[in-house]
Structure 1
Amino acid sequence: MKFDTAYSVSLDDKLSIYDVRELNFDETAAYDSDKDRFLCPNDACRAAFETGNVLGTYNAKNVNYQRTPHFKNTPSTEHIEGCRYASSHKPAAGESDDAREDNFPSEFVLTRRTYARITPVVDAEGQAPQAPAQTPSGRPPAAVSASDGTPDKTSVFAHPVECYVSNIDHKDKLKAMPLKIGEHSATYWAFFKKIEYLQDNHGLIYWGKIKAIKDYTSSFRIDFEKKVWLDKKPYSVNVYLSKKLIENYRKRKAFLEQIKAAASSERPLYCFFYGVTPALKQVPSKKNPEQTFGVFSANIENLDHLIIREVPMLE
């Protein structure tokens, strides 16, 4: 069976599989999931066995997102009788081992989770790249649940995105699952807005199919396939990723590997982002700088809140 929470021996804490993925690519933290040991998140079950009674991981270290990540039992993993994570659990009808993300967090926390037992890795100037983003109101960070089961909150953008993507053909489920971001509460279905309808509401998770990724060597522009209609005229939509934003990103190496591969890929890819809303701007024409044309555009402010990935359910 699959589950997305496990106990990390090295961190002495319970992590979601999405937390593990984040840590694997974080250049400011000395962490490698291959050197960690993951145990059953059930406290009573974990206490009944030696620390060698470990779990495996699926899709914990792939830079390019490949299907739903999860922890899994190995052939030698044991559980106490009645443990909900035992392999004897039979999937429900229509449930496969890795087809859908069923563990919906009810809150996406905008402040990145930190871990007391991880020592930050500093650069040559003694600085750690990109400090955790602060909540807009300046309130203390909300704690991410470390309960036995699935965390009720997550600070990893990939988690709610995977919940939406893997269930995109299950509209009723997405309309029933609640999600809170900052001061706003809605359902998963309402929070995710197709890029062509970005004028309908601000402060949502916008997404759409990528038309092209412009590689300017140290910066990038993501152009979307769909256009926004305003006053009966179509306008292109894009988001810009600045050189400074990328250079200061704590997952810079992994991000550059991913976006460069995406820029040259012929596979259908989609971009999801939160935190900015593209607005209509007038930009100069390359052929005639004295002339301008309209485009809906925005500068991404936090790469933690942007994902480029496939959406198999739409292809």
Structure 2
Amino acid sequence: MKFATAYSLSLDDKLSIYDVRDLNFDETAAYDSDKDSFLCPNDACRAAFEVGNTLATFNAKNVNYLRTPHFKNRTGTQHIDGCRYASLHKAASGESDDTREDNFPSEFVLTRRSYPRKTPAAVSQGQALPAPANPPANRVSLPVSSSDTPPDKTSVFAHPVECYVSNIDDKDRLKAMPLKIGEHTATYWTFFKKIEYLQDNKGLIYWGKVKAIKDYTSSFRIDFDKKVWLDKKPYSVNVYLSKKLIENYRKRTAFLEQIKAAASSERALYCFFYGVTPELKQVPSKKNPEQTFGVFSANIENLDHLIIREAPGLQTF
């Protein structure tokens, strides 16, 4: 079985697998999940065993992934009677249950979560683990329940995106699951809007198949495959990623690895983003600068709210 949440020994807090991925790629945080220990999120179960009774991670450090990230039991992981994570042998060896994200956060929080340590945890040699770097001022701490229930909020964009992508074949489920972003509440089905219909409403999560990624060495432009129709005319759609935006990004290394690979990839890729709505602009023609042509375009403002990924289920959607 998949774990939505696990207890991090080094941070003395419960993290989602998406929190762990975010920390792994964050160049402002001294964190490596391979050096952490993850324990059962059930407080009573965790207290009944030694700290060596750990969980494993799946897709915690892969920049790109197809199968849903999660925590899982190891072959020897133990649980107390009544712990809902006690399905040992079902999940210990197989990966048959990793194709769908079942834990839908009801709110996507736009300010990043902070990961302050409450009490320094000691390693087996008796030495205290080093304290994490001070978090940037624009982070906030999301409350974590003392129970073992999955968190109903997330500040990691990949989490709601994975919920949508991995459940795309279950339209009724997506229409039933609520999602709040800022002051706007709707269903997952409503919040995720195909790029060609971006005129329907602003403030949504827009997505579409990538036609091309223009690599300008220090900046990038993502062109979408589908066009927007306005006044019976088709217009191309793109988003622009500036040099300054990329240089100041806390996950710059991982992002550049991902987008450069995507730019040269022949596989079908999809781009999801939130926070900006492409609008019709007049752009000078390269062949004749005196002439202009219309294009729906936007400058991405936050790379935390943009994802480029494979999503096979969307190819026929």
CA–CA separation in structure 2 for the residues paired with 1:243 and 1:288:
26
Moved more, 142-151 or 275-284: 142-151
Q: Distance in 2 between matches of 1:241 and 1:119?
A: 30
Shift of 1:116: 1.3
CA contact (8 A) 1:109 1:142 kept: no
Normalised to the residue count of structure 2, the TM-score between the two structures is: 0.91
Does residue 299 (structure 1) correspond to residue 299 (structure 2)? The answer is yes
Give me the whole-angstrom Cα distance separating, in 1, the residues matched to 2:216 and 2:56. 39
Which residue matches 2:144?
145
**Alpha-carbon distance in structure 1 between the residues aligned to 2:47 and 2:278:** 51
Task: Summarize the alignment of residues 24-43 of structure 1 with structure 2, pairs less than 5 Å apart.
Answer: 24-43=24-43
Question: SS at 1:208's partner residue?
Answer: strand
Give the Cα separation in 1 of the matches to 2:268 and 2:150.
Answer: 31
Residue type at the aligned position of 2:251: K
Partner Cα distance (1:144, 1:96) in 2: 32
Q: Secondary structure at the match of 1:244?
A: helix
Match of 1:57 in 2: 57
**2:275 pairs with 1:262:** no
Counterpart of 1:119 in structure 2: which amino acid?
P
Kindly state the Cα deviation for residue 96 of structure 1 after the two structures are TM-superposed. 4.1
Instruction: Find 2:133's aligned residue among 112, 120, 129.
Output: 120
Which SS does the other structure have where 2:245 is aligned?
helix
Residue segments in structure 1 that go unaligned for 5+ positions in a row? 122-127, 134-140
Residue 102 (structure 2) pairs with residue 102 (structure 1): yes
Cα deviation, residue 175, structure 1: 0.2
- The one-character-per-residue Cα deviations of 1:121-167 (angstroms, maximum 9, x if unpaired) are 8xxxxxx9x8637xxxxxxx572434412110000000000000000
Runs (5+) with no aligned partner, structure 2: 118-130
Query: 8 Å contact 1:207–1:273 — kept in the other structure?
Result: yes
Is the partner of 2:61 in helix, strand or coil?
Answer: coil
Q: C-alpha separation between the residues in 1 aligned to 2:89 and 2:183? A: 38
Q: How far is the alpha carbon of 1:278 from its aligned partner?
A: 0.1
Identity of aligned residues (%): 84
TM-score by length of 1: 0.91
Question: 1:242-253 residue pairs with structure 2 within 5 A?
Answer: 242-253=242-253
Distance 1:142 1:57 in 2: 23
Q: Please report how far the alpha carbon of residue 3 of structure 1 lies from its aligned counterpart in structure 2 after TM superposition.
A: 1.3
SS in 1 for 2:15: strand
Q: Which secondary structure state, in structure 2, belongs to the residue aligned with residue 257 of structure 1? A: helix
Is 2:223 aligned against 1:223?
yes
After superposition, the C-alpha distances for 1:149-197 in whole angstroms (9 at most, x for unaligned) are 2110000000000000000110000000000000000000000000000
Whether the 8 Å CA contact 1:213–1:223 is kept in 2: the answer is yes
Q: Offset of 1:313 from its aligned partner? A: 1.1
Range with greater deviation from structure 2 (278-287 or 63-72):
63-72
Q: Secondary structure at the match of 2:199?
A: helix
Write out per-residue CA displacement over residues 258-295 of structure 1, whole angstroms, 9 at most, x where no aligned residue. 00000000000000000000000000000000000000
Q: Which residue of 2 aligns with 1:311?
A: 311
Q: Secondary structure at the match of 1:189?
A: helix
Which amino acid in 2 is paired with 1:120?
Answer: A
SS at structure 1 position matched to 2:20: helix
Give the aligned residue type for 1:211.
K
Instruction: Provide Cα deviations, 1:210-246, integer angstroms capped at 9, x if missing partner.
Output: 0000000000000000000000000000000000000
Q: C-alpha distance in 1, partners of 2:6/2:155?
A: 16
Q: CA RMSD in A?
A: 1.7
Kindly indicate whether the alpha-carbon contact (under 8 Å) linking 1:178 and 1:185 is maintained by their aligned counterparts in 2: yes
Would the aligned equivalents of 1:208 and 1:225 in 2 still touch at CA under 8 Å? yes
Partners of 2:89 and 2:191 in 1: CA distance: 33
Aligned match of 1:238:
238
- C-alpha separation between the residues in 2 aligned to 1:120 and 1:144? 20
CA distance in 2, matches of 1:248, 1:7: 31
Task: Tell me how far apart the structure 1 counterparts of residues 314 and 302 of structure 2 sit (CA, whole Å).
Answer: 27
Write the distance in 1 (CA, Å) between the matches of 2:277 and 2:212. 19
* Cα drift, residue 87 of structure 1: 1.9
Detail structure 1 runs of 4+ shifted over 2 Å in the superposition: 88-91, 117-121, 130-133, 141-147
Give the deviation of 1:4 after TM superposition: 1.6
User: How far apart in 2 are the matches of 1:312 and 1:56?
Assistant: 26
Structure 1 stretch 57-66 or stretch 272-281: which is displaced more? 57-66
- Go from structure 1 to structure 2 and tell me whether the alpha carbon gap of 1:278 and 1:131 turns closer, same or farther (over 3 Å shift): farther
1:164 is paired with a residue whose SS is helix
Give the secondary structure class of the aligned counterpart of 1:172.
helix
Aligned partners of 1:59 and 1:66 also within 8 Å: no
Aligned to 1:138: none
- 1:132 maps to which residue? 138
The one-letter amino acid paired with 1:17 is I
* Equivalent-residue separation in structure 1 for 2:214 and 2:68 (angstroms): 28
